[in-house]
Amino acid sequence: MTKNLDADGLKSIVSDYDILYIDLWGVVHNGIKLHEGAIGVLSKLSEIKKNYVLLTNAPRPNETVKKFLEKLGMKSEQINHVYTSGQAALNYLKKNLNDKDFFHIGPPRDFDLFLSFKNNKKENLDESEYILCTGLYDDKSDDLNFYKDLLEKYIHKKMICTNPDLIVDRGNKRELCAGSVAMVFEKMGGKVIYFGKPYPEVYNQAINNKDKKILCIGDNLNTDIKGANLQNFDSLIISDGIHKTEIENSGIEKVSKMYESIPNYIQSKLTW
């Protein structure tokens, strides 16, 4: 049974763990502003010298996300704990596909992911050796049928997806993510290599977690909690995130079973 920590706070369990993986979007900020309670938690973790990683399924390199957080007002000491799915993907691409031509699906703001091999970017799918999906085009941000039509003749090509998230809430607006395009591609029979939660590579790259007791904190059952379950880490779901309405209507036990992802703990917002 999932234990509610709203009364006792994170402080009641934090001593049980060596490392905390903490999601950014939906936990520490909402894409527009920082959540004060969560920032307070990060300060407390630093005070007690507890290791933590701000692990995010952002399809951009670490430095880009760090600059974004700086603009939101996060302290540099906290920003230095960031690790992104984009960074994990970039490390793989540089090592394995650095000289291969690719076709990019995603907005222009994601171009910094492949600056070091930008000359390999092709404007035509026929000329590409693989597909790099970082998100949706700005003018096709809610039309998955467009991507089905675009990709249906190219399911023989490999897709690299740098953000397994299906959706994200930017303030009060819900947006599709790269994972939604990848899911369309997979349903047509295409092969996708994912980087980010719930897949193990991003956890292992971010910090040495061997033989450590770990708690994963996030608002997404499909990624944050499923990733914890797959690797036998404990987890804490933040209910005031993308599953807010579902949890309010049905309760965490029923919703978590529906997603086949079971958290150990639940908090409405991350607080100490």
Q: CATH number, domain at 49?
A: 3.40.50.1000
Model confidence band, residue 19 (pLDDT cutoffs 50, 70, 90): very high
Strand, helix or coil for residue 103 = strand
Model confidence band, residue 169 (pLDDT cutoffs 50, 70, 90): confident
| Domain assignment present for 114 | yes
| Cα gap 270→260, rounded to integer Å | 23
| Cα gap 183→245, rounded to integer Å | 23
Q: Are residues 164 and 113 in the same domain?
A: yes
Q: Are residues 111 and 189 in the same domain?
A: yes
pLDDT at 18: 98
For 185, other C-beta atoms within 10 Å of its C-beta total: 26
Check pLDDT > 90 for residue 172. Answer: no
Condensed to tens digits (0 to 9), the pLDDT of residues 119-141 reads 999 999 999 999 999 999 999 99
Torsion angles phi and psi, residue 212, rounded to 5: -110, 150
Model confidence band, residue 68 (pLDDT cutoffs 50, 70, 90): very high
As for how many domains the chain has, the answer is: 2
- Domain termination site, one of 171, 194, 217: 194
pLDDT at 168: 85
| Percent of the chain topping pLDDT 90 | 96
Mean pLDDT of 163-170: 89
Mean pLDDT of 211-224: 97
Cis peptide before 198 (omega within 30 of 0): yes
| Cα gap 56→243, rounded to integer Å | 17
| Domain assignment present for 211 | yes
Q: Are residues 188 and 91 in the same domain?
A: yes
Contact 265, 13 (CB under 8 A): yes
Q: Are residues 168 and 218 in the same domain?
A: no
Mean pLDDT of 253-271: 97
Condensed to tens digits (0 to 9), the pLDDT of residues 222-258 reads 999 999 999 999 999 999 999 999 999 999 999 999 9
Q: Are residues 243 and 151 in the same domain?
A: no
Q: Are residues 102 and 156 in the same domain?
A: yes
| Percent of the chain topping pLDDT 70 | 100
| Domain assignment present for 20 | yes
Model confidence band, residue 221 (pLDDT cutoffs 50, 70, 90): very high
Strand, helix or coil for residue 250 = helix
pLDDT at 167: 87
Check pLDDT > 90 for residue 84. Answer: yes
Q: Are residues 217 and 185 in the same domain?
A: no
Contact 223, 252 (CB under 8 A): no
- Domain termination site, one of 194, 217, 244: 194
| Domain assignment present for 62 | no
Model confidence band, residue 101 (pLDDT cutoffs 50, 70, 90): very high
Q: Are residues 188 and 207 in the same domain?
A: no
Q: Where are the alpha helices (DSSP H) in 2-112?
A: 36-47, 62-72, 76-79, 85-96
Model confidence band, residue 66 (pLDDT cutoffs 50, 70, 90): very high
The whole domain housing 128 covers 87-194
Contact 225, 237 (CB under 8 A): yes
